[in-house]
Amino acid sequence: MTTFGRTDVQPVIQVRDLTMAYGDVDVLRGVDLDIHRGEVFALLGPNGAGKTTTVEILEGFRQRSGGEVSVLATDPERGGDAWRARIGLVLQSWRDHRRWRVAELLRHFATYYPDPRDPGELLALVGLTDQAGKQVDRLSGGQRRRLDVALGIVGRPELLFLDEPTTGFDPQARHEFHVLVELLARDEGVTVLLTTHDLAEAERLAHRIAMLVGGRIRACGTPAELARRAAAQAEVRWTADDGTPRRERSEDPSQLVWELHRHAAGPIAGLEVRRPTLEDTYLHMVHREADGTDGADGTDRDSDEQAPAA
């Protein structure tokens, strides 16, 4: 992770105090982000938290209300074709070019880029070689999404936006997709900004995760850091001598388990230690926002006085 902390290189995405208002409604209230080359960065948050708005501002599809945004050293509002050529996009709602054949579509989109990938190799990479002659219409949901990924990376982008990329994938397809994203980031230095509702996916893929709640980044860090920060207590579960299930939260689960063992002088039935998960962190953040109360960890830049987005 330390390689991403380098300060001598400008981050691929740099956002300072980004704000967005639609009329009277503040959607983004000062977002800061730094995403570095080769990093897989996940943006999490409940619906309506401003995720989509943030990503569309970064993609150059929306004008912001305020703040500084730099994507590949360019303001997205002024990004021309040369800038576009360095960016790849995979959206969940694409169902275009239905009549085209898979290889035909990929070959066509390769012509727009100065240094495209070889369409044949790309089909192999996303596992669509057997479908090359098929009409896009006839692909399964997972195949269609893999084609979208292939179209997203055909121009060798330095930065790839993935919007809910594995919705509707079966576990096998999801696994293959994850391997592909890891490969792109590791071997080719592609920077990936992933938005997802799938916390397991974020944990699996992302080097760092930011949680966007109520128009602000509420937490940002590695999955492990996030989990530690929010719900620092692990949960220990076991079955008591009388057969009733017991659970207890502890800062030091090892100590608790050791004491349990000493007390019982033998094995303990149903013993289970649950480390705080990313999901705990996420729910904690979202609930805190909904309650309008501040967290105990004090990582926020301010205690918010705004009305919660009930």
Partner 1 sequence: MTNRTNSWRAGLQRGGIELRHLLRNGKEMSGHLTNVVVALLVAAYIDDDVPGTRTPMDHLILAGFAAYLLFQIGLISLPQILVTEREEGALLRLRATPGGIPAYLVAKCLLVVVVAVGTLALLLFAGALVVDGPLPHGPGAWLTLAWVTTLGLLAVVPLGAAIGAVLPNPREALALIMLPTMGLLLTSGVVFPITALPVPVQHVAAVFPLKWMAQGLRSALLPDSARTAEAAGSWELPMVALVLTAWAALGFLLAVPLLRRAARRESGSRLSARHRKAAQSGALPA
Query: With respect to partner 1, which residue has the nearer C-beta, 135 or 250?
Result: 135
Question: In the structure encoding, which two tokens stand for residue 55, read together?
Answer: 């990503």
CB of 2 to partner 1, least distance (A): 33
* Residues near partner 1 (CB under 8 A): 52-53, 55-56, 59, 61-62, 81-82, 84-85, 87, 89, 91-100, 104, 108-109, 111-113, 151, 155, 163
What is the C-alpha to C-alpha distance for residues 145 and 182, in angstroms, rounded to an integer?
Answer: 17
Query: With respect to partner 1, which residue has the nearer C-beta, 108 or 249?
Result: 108
Query: With respect to partner 1, which residue has the nearer C-beta, 44 or 257?
Result: 44
Q: How far is CA 134 from CA 83, 138, 153, 155, in A?
A: 32, 7, 20, 22
Query: With respect to partner 1, which residue has the nearer C-beta, 104 or 294?
Result: 104
CB of 187 to partner 1, least distance (A): 24
Question: In the structure encoding, which two tokens stand for residue 281, read together?
Answer: 């962190």
Quickly count: other Cβ atoms within 10 Å of residue 288's Cβ: 20
- 32-68 residues labelled b (16+ CB within 10 A) or e (exposed): bbbbbbbbbbbbbbbeebbbbbbbbbbbbebebeebe
Query: With respect to partner 1, which residue has the nearer C-beta, 53 or 191?
Result: 53
CB of 83 to partner 1, least distance (A): 8
What is the C-alpha to C-alpha distance for residues 95 and 107, in angstroms, rounded to an integer?
Answer: 18
